[in-house]
Every structure is written in structure tokens, then in C-alpha cells.
Amino acid sequence: MTKYAFYPGCSLETGGIEYGMSSQAVAKALGIELLEVPDWNCCGASSAHMTDHLLSLALPARILALAETLPVTEIVAPCAACHARFAAVEYELGRDEELKQKVNSLLERPYTGKVKLRYYLDIFSNPETLSEIEKKVKRPLKGLKVACYYGCLFVKPPKIVNFVDDPEDPQSMDNIIRALGAEPVQWPYKTECCGASLGVTLEDHCTKLCNDILRFARDSGADCIVAACPLCQANLDMRQVTVEKKYGVSYRMPIPFFTQLIGLALGLDPKTLGFPKLFVDPVGMLKKVGVA
Amino acid sequence: MGEVNLSQVMDRNRSFVDRVIEESGQDIRQCYQCAKCSGGCPGSSAMDYPPNQIIRMLMLGMKEEVLKSHTIWVCMGCNTCTTRCIRDIQVAAVMDTLRQEAVRAGYVDKAKLVLSFNESFLWTVRTFGRLFEPGMAMMNNLKTGNFMKDMQFGLPLMLKGKASMFPHRIKGRREMKKIFDQVRGGK
């Protein structure tokens, strides 16, 4: 059984709870073990890296150090912001011994770098797991058109965050969606920014960015936008009603996570996968693939 | 921006520019103004100076103009600029350093909303170990005086089981406090 250290991050237990639920359900169905990092803390996200460089490294380094207590060689973070913070630790502490010692002096358990960061999409889109998924598909998502939305921080900047996907036109999620029997649409906003925390601090601009993403997805013929990051998902899903009001449009575009679609194709119960937790009602999309 | 005597500002602010280069680890002097960073920037339409201009102003030593700019607080750190920079400058990392420098120098007029968000966010992380969104939202709204901001989402989030009334407290709270106490800006 393949094992990974699993860092849910704060979102997967709150706003992105359906991402956490579907991740665990799908991993179980595929024989992947996700071991939660014990007593994990928040990675600090952009609030920490805007505030203090050392803080922005020490918070994720504590998590990576705790992951080193688990019987694993790799860690995954389903949230793109958390992923980017882990990548920053590996990149910066990996090439600066002095900085590493400085960060470690703040921690009770030192970070050694022995557990490596793995790109979350890649634990499903690597060739072996992908053929495993293809074999286990019970309910092919035939006819479903999907806009794969990777967000920024899983793929940018490529020198730091991952070495698997193209930062401008990534393919790993597209490959997963194809394996499920659905059709990924060609669209230009795969890695455009959703506005992130500008939803709180400069809402008008965040609304504009989300409107651009939703409009392009709709115009590309997508039935849904599939997300890989809980903050992107929350902006597009929860704030979609704000976008519609401001721009006088109606999208009603469901924003499921990619793990929810994998689960659906594997024949798992939509409830177990957290579909009722989505703000924009996914029932039309589910009907299209013969569920509900 | 009024008239600027460039040789004077550079003489006055050379140490500031050197510190930005040192802290960010980015040699901005490599920039040759291709402006790819600004072309792809999702925030540029809300900025007063696009990112390439900020870099140019930095090279010229225009400390006050850069630190007082709206730009550094609109940047979301999406790293599109960093990804596309032909001269290998991590532009988003420079923006992080500039935000920290602006706070240090007291240029916070345009940053009130971002700073109160960051402070509220980090306060919950320092106290509980994890982000506690209802606490963050309430503290942020009190700080900004915008009491009803996003409150329409509160009840639906609770009903969907996406927000809890009570924070989860990690065991390592003492260690968290120690980390925050020992870094700058970690109050």
C-alpha cells in the first residue's frame, strides 16, 4: 500500500471539508494510505509571508518536522497555498544551511528535510495510479465537460513548487478527468488567479477575477469547473452569487474538487464525497452523469 | 508622482535598495524592463504602478513612492510574474520584502485592510495553532469597522458544517507562541 504523510491544512476541516472527505474516500478506494501529520499547525499562508520571512518558514517547517515522525518518505498537501509554503521551506532551507539552523532554533523538533513534498495531483495522475483508476471506474462520467482549474500556487513558480506540470498549461488534472470518462475542455484560465484573500481585502477586484474565470469556463462549454485548491474553490463557489449580482449574469456553475469527481466515477456515494456541501447546487451536473 | 531628482534619491536611498536586494534574495538590477511581469499580472488593473514600474522605481532608489504605493498591497503573490520573468527575478518575493519594509517604515495608509486581515489571521494561528475563521472574521471586522463584511456567509457555512463555533486547539501551542515571539512582526 502506498503511504503518504497527509497535511489537511485548516481549509480541509472547514470551508473545504468536501475536499477532505472526498480525498480520504478516494484514497481508500484506490489503496492509498493518507497518514495525517500529528498535531499539525496552520502553515501561515500568505499572511505569514507578507509579515515576516522567518515566520513564513518556521510555521511550515514545524509541520514538515512532525511529518518526519511518520513511516513515510513523502508528504502531500491538497491546498495549493500550504503546498507552496512547504515548497518554499524545501527550496530555501535546502540551499542555506545557516537559515535552516536559524529556523530549527525556533522549533522543538528539528526539520531535516527527509520527508519530501509531493504534488498532490501527481499521486493520482502518475501512470500507475492512473491506470488503476481507469480499471476501477464503475460510473464513467460520459458527456461531462470539465474546465480543469489548477489555480496558481500548485504550478507557480515551477522552479520552486513542482517539476511535474507545465505552469501555463498543466495536464495532470486533465489526464485524471479523461481517465474518468469525462472531457476536459480547452480554456485559457487554467492557472489564472482567483484573487485569493483579496475576497476579504479588495472584494471588487476578486469578484472581477472570478467573473473572468467563470465566463471563460462557460464560454468554453464546461458543465463545471473542477478545483484543486480550497481557496480557489471557495472564491468561485461561495462568492459566485456575489459575482452574479455584480455583473448581472447567471452562471450556476458547480465547482467540485477533482477528488469528488474521481469518487463519483469510482461509484462512491455523492454524500460521502461531500457533494451536498457545495454552495452552487451540483444536481444538474450529477444528473448528466446519471446520479441523483 | 511629482518631479524627482534621481541622483539625490539614489544617494539617499542606496542602503534601502541594497537591503531589499539582500532580504528578498533577488537581484533586481538584472531587470531590463520587458514588462512581462505586468502583462500577466492579474492585479495590475487595480494597481497604481504595474510591477515592472515598481522594479524600475526601486532601481532608481525611489523608496517613498514604492513603499507608499497601492501596488504592493494589491499583489496576491500568485507568482505569475516570477514564473514568466526572463531575467530570473522572483518579483513576488520582492513584493513580500516591500510589504515588510513598508510596515517597518510606517507607510501603512493603503494597507489597513490587508494588515488587519493578516493580523487577525495570525492572531488565531498564534493562539490556537490553526486558523479559526469565525474568530478571524470577527476580529477583522472589528478592526476595520466593516462589521457586516462576509457575515451573510456565516450561517450557511455553519449549516453546511463548514465552520465551527469553537476553535481546535493544538497541543503545541506553547511552541507556536515561542515561534511568534521570536520573529519580527510576530506580536
Instruction: Give the alpha-carbon dihedral of B146, B131, A77, A259, to 10 degrees.
Output: -60
Residue B165 scores a pLDDT above 90: no
Domain membership flag for residue B127: yes
The verdict on B22 and B86 lying in the same domain is yes
Query: Which chain A residues are closer than 8 Å to B78 by Cβ?
Result: 152-153, 156, 193, 196
Q: Among all residues of chain A, which has the CA nearest to that of B77?
A: A46
pLDDT of residue A1: 77
Residue A292 scores a pLDDT above 80: no
pLDDT of residue B1: 67
| d(C-alpha A23, C-alpha A31), whole Å | 12
B108–chain A Cβ distance below 8 A for any pair: no
The verdict on B158 and B177 lying in the same domain is yes
Residue B171 scores a pLDDT above 90: yes
The verdict on B12 and B92 lying in the same domain is yes
Query: Which chain A residues are closer than 8 Å to B185 by Cβ?
Result: 51-52, 55
The verdict on B11 and B99 lying in the same domain is yes
| Residue that is last in its domain, among B80, B107, B134 | B107
| d(C-alpha B186, C-alpha A239), whole Å | 31
* Nearest in space to A175 (alpha carbons), one of A258, A287, A268: A258
The verdict on B57 and B121 lying in the same domain is no
Full-model pTM: 0.96
What chain A holds in terms of domains, given with CATH numbers, is 2-118 (1.20.1050.140), 140-285 (3.40.50.11810)
Residue B187 scores a pLDDT above 50: no
Contact B83 A192 (CB under 8 A): no
A28-37, A261-270, B33-42, B137-146, range with the lowest pLDDT: B137-146
What is the tally of structural domains in chain B? 2
| d(C-alpha A217, C-alpha A214), whole Å | 5
Domain membership flag for residue B1: no
Cα of first residue to Cα of last residue in chain B, in angstroms, is 34
pLDDT of residue B79: 97
- Residues 127..156 of A with a Cβ closer than 8 Å to B: which? 152-153, 156
The string over B119-150, giving b where at least 16 C-beta atoms fall within 10 Å of a residue's C-beta and e elsewhere, is: bbbbbbbbbbbbbbbbbbbebbbeebeeeebb
The verdict on B71 and B124 lying in the same domain is no
pLDDT of residue B4: 84
Domain membership flag for residue B187: no
Choose between A1 and B95: higher pLDDT. B95
CATH of the domain at B57: 1.10.1060
Residue A275 scores a pLDDT above 50: yes
| d(C-alpha A104, C-alpha A98), whole Å | 10
**Sequence-ordered list of residues with C-beta below 8 angstroms from that of B28, at least 6 positions apart, any chain:** B17, B20, B21, B55, B58, B59, B89, B94
Report ipTM (2 d.p.): 0.94
Contact B179 A59 (CB under 8 A): yes
Are A170 and A190 spatial neighbours (Cβ–Cβ below 8 Å)? yes
| d(C-alpha A291, C-alpha A270), whole Å | 8
- Domain holding B118, by residue range, is 112-182
Q: Residue A102 is inside which H or E element, if any?
A: helix A97-104
The 3-class SS string of chain B reads CCCCCHHHHHHHHHHHHHHHHHHHCCCHHHCCCCCHHHHCCCCHHHCCCCHHHHHHHHHCCCHHHHHCCCHHHHCCCCCHHHHHCCCCCCHHHHHHHHHHHHHHHCCCHHHHHHHHHHHHHHHHHHHHCCCCHHHHHHHHHHHHCCCCCCHHHHHHHHHCCCCCCCCCCCCCHHHHHHHHHHCCCCC
Q: Taking residues A105-124, report their average pLDDT.
A: 97
Report pLDDT digits (tens) over A89-104.
999 999 999 999 999 9
Domain membership flag for residue B10: yes
CA separation, residue B174 to residues A59, A150, B66, B128, B168 (Å): 13, 36, 38, 10, 15
B138–chain A Cβ distance below 8 A for any pair: no
Query: Which chain B residues are closer than 8 Å to A153 by Cβ?
Result: 78-79
Q: Taking residues B8-16, report their average pLDDT.
A: 91
| Residue that is last in its domain, among B63, B89, B107 | B107
Domain membership flag for residue B33: yes
The verdict on B38 and B130 lying in the same domain is no
How many C-beta atoms surround the C-beta of residue A60 within 10 A? Answer: 30
The verdict on B13 and B98 lying in the same domain is yes
pLDDT of residue A103: 97
Q: Taking residues B23-33, report their average pLDDT.
A: 96
Percent of chain B, pLDDT > 70? 97
DSSP three-state, residue A6? strand
Sign of CA dihedral A161, A197, A40, B153: negative
| Residue that is last in its domain, among B75, B107, B139 | B107
The verdict on B103 and B119 lying in the same domain is no
Contact A59 B99 (CB under 8 A): no
Report pLDDT digits (tens) over B101-147.
999 999 988 899 999 999 999 999 999 999 999 999 999 999 999 99
Are B30 and B89 spatial neighbours (Cβ–Cβ below 8 Å)? yes
User: pLDDT confidence of B185, banded at 50, 70, 90?
Assistant: low
The verdict on B26 and B70 lying in the same domain is yes
Report cis status (omega within 30 of 0) of the bond before A158.
no
Q: Give the residue carrying C-alpha cell 469547473.
A: A225
**Kindly report the CA angle at A56 between A54 and A59, in degrees rounded to 5?**
100
DSSP class of residue A113?
S
The verdict on B24 and B90 lying in the same domain is yes
The verdict on B93 and B133 lying in the same domain is no
